[in-house]
Amino acid sequence: MLLETSTLLWPFCAGNKVMELYRLQLGTILAKSFLHGIGIGFAFGLSQFLLFACNSLLLWYTAVSVHEGHLKVATALKAYMVFSFATFALVEPFGLAPYILKRRNSLASVFEIIDRVPSIDPDDNTGVKPPSVYGSIEIKSIDFCYPTRPDLMVLSNFSLKVDGGQTVAMVGVSGSGKSTIISLIERFYDPVAAQILLDGRDLKQFNLRWLRSHMGLVQQEPIIFSTTIRENIIYARHNATEAEMKEAARIANAHHFISSLPHGYDTHVGMRGVDLTPGQKQRIAIARVVLKNAPILLLDEASSAIESDSSRVVQEALETLIMGNKTTILIAHRAPMMRHVDNIVVLNGGKIVEQGTHDSLSQINGLYVRLLQPHLAKGFRQHRLL
């Protein structure tokens, strides 16, 4: 920061002034560092002096005792070794004390994280595990605010019902609570009040791992692991066969580009998929969800960050994905996708302001129409409308 300031001020002949300020700052730091170093050096030197002084005294006393016949050589060696290690254990911490004191706050925060018991524990083995899932989801008058922002209510008295096998799309401006609903269904958070039901049961009654194993999630920024494409896809189901994996890739429109790579499915994608384009990463994430074959699909703006060249093939993959008989909740703002859903919910300020099919909402000419207009949608989605 100081270097940038010096560079900016140099044409105004203020370089000497900045360098003088820099020298003064270094002088203060130098004085503190010098005193701190003297203290640490003195403590370390004292601890080492005590250590070797104790060993010298002990060795002298042992030699005198052996010489005068009070101790045998074997007994003297044993005693010397025991007392030598004991003095080392007692004196050495004095030399480390400054470092321990300096790091104690960091250690306290680390152990605080280790000892923290999460309110939603994924390793909890309790909870029911029904043999089958119909997929009916009902959100009943929930209120929710994030733990880090308890003063900001994201959802207020929000209610929504999704029948099993139904596809519901959510659209709305930024901050209206769309992604929050996905997080609540996945139980990343619990609502402040009321409840969310799956097949008539509160989500809190289900075993958490079982619950998430029956949901397929495709996010706006897909999670790609630093390994091969094959392992990224079969991560959803490790016992899948080669044919099942490739069929999932075909459904996701990913098989063609994967086959064109030099190593095919064994191609390493780099850290977070850095060697792939956003569209390719998204299709791999869709293939993973297809292979998982979960009865509930959650799609969080899965095509919004895709470059225009890949947008069409990703859109086709998503349309194929939602046309099955699975319960699907998707967040999207593209008209072609909206035509394939059973119900569209328009959110603003954590509440439903419009609801219906694409045709019925288009006739209303309200917020939904404005959000889908290409030249207005971006501006609307970036601001909460009140």
Together in a domain, 251 and 290: yes
Sheet of strand 137-144, all strands in order from the earlier edge strand to the far edge:
155-162, 137-144, 193-198, 201-202
Do 90 and 54 reside in the same domain of the chain?
yes
Specify burial of residue 346 (Cβ count, 10 A radius: 0-12, 13-18, 19+).
buried
Is the pTM higher than 0.85? The answer reads no
Q: Are strands 327-331 and 167-172 parallel, antiparallel or unpaired?
A: parallel
Whether residue 360 is contained in a domain is answered as yes
Nearest to 202, CA basis, from 146, 246, 139, 145? 139
Asked whether residue 219 is domain-assigned, the answer is yes
Whether residues 186 and 107 fall in one domain: no
359 in a structural domain: yes
Strands (E), 166-295: 167-172, 193-198, 201-202, 215-218
Whether 192 maps to a domain, the answer reads yes
3-state secondary structure of 15: helix
The answer to whether residue 128 sits within a structural domain is no
Q: Each residue's pLDDT tens digit in the chain (386 positions)?
A: 545 555 555 556 667 788 888 888 888 788 888 887 787 778 777 777 877 887 788 788 888 888 887 778 888 788 778 877 777 777 666 666 666 776 777 777 888 888 888 888 887 888 899 988 888 999 988 888 888 888 888 888 888 899 888 888 888 887 788 888 999 999 998 887 788 999 889 998 999 999 998 998 888 788 888 888 999 999 888 888 899 999 988 888 888 888 888 888 888 888 877 778 888 888 888 889 888 888 898 888 765 555 555 566 666 777 777 776 788 888 877 767 777 788 889 888 888 888 888 888 888 888 888 887 753 444 444 444 44
Residue 177 sits in the same domain as residue 96: no
Q: In the chain, how many domains are there?
A: 2
Pair (256, 223) in one structural domain? yes
Q: Are 203 and 104 in a shared domain?
A: no
CA nearest neighbour of 40 among 92, 78, 95: 95
Asked if the structure places residue 340 within a domain, the reply is: yes
Domain boundary among 81, 115, 149: 115
Say if 129 falls within a structural domain: no
Q: Maximum CA pair distance of the chain?
A: 111
Quick check: is 131 in a domain? no
- Whether 206 and 257 map to the same domain: the answer is yes
Both tokens assigned to 74: 């074997």
Domain CATH code at residue 346: 3.40.50.300
Determine the Cα–Cα distance for residues 183 and 329; give it in Å rounded to an integer. Answer: 12
**Which residue(s) pair with 216 in the sheet?**
297
How far is Cα 62 from Cα 239, in angstroms, rounded to an integer? 68
Let me know whether 310 and 162 are in one domain: yes
Which DSSP string corresponds to 75-114?
Answer: HHHHHHHHHHHHHHHHHHHHHHHHHHHHHHHHHHHHHHHH
Same domain, 351 and 236: yes
Query: Angle at Cα 167 formed by Cα 207 and Cα 335, nearest 5°?
Result: 135
93 and 191 part of one domain: no
Q: C-alpha distances in angstroms, 369 versus 82, 358, 365, 378?
A: 84, 9, 5, 13
155 with 51, same domain: the answer is no
Cβ 354 vs Cβ 176: under 8 Å: no
Looking at the structure, tell me whether residues 168 and 253 fall in a common domain. yes
Beta carbons within 8 Å of 159's beta carbon, 6+ residues apart: 139, 140, 141, 142, 352
Residues spanned by the domain of 339: 137-381
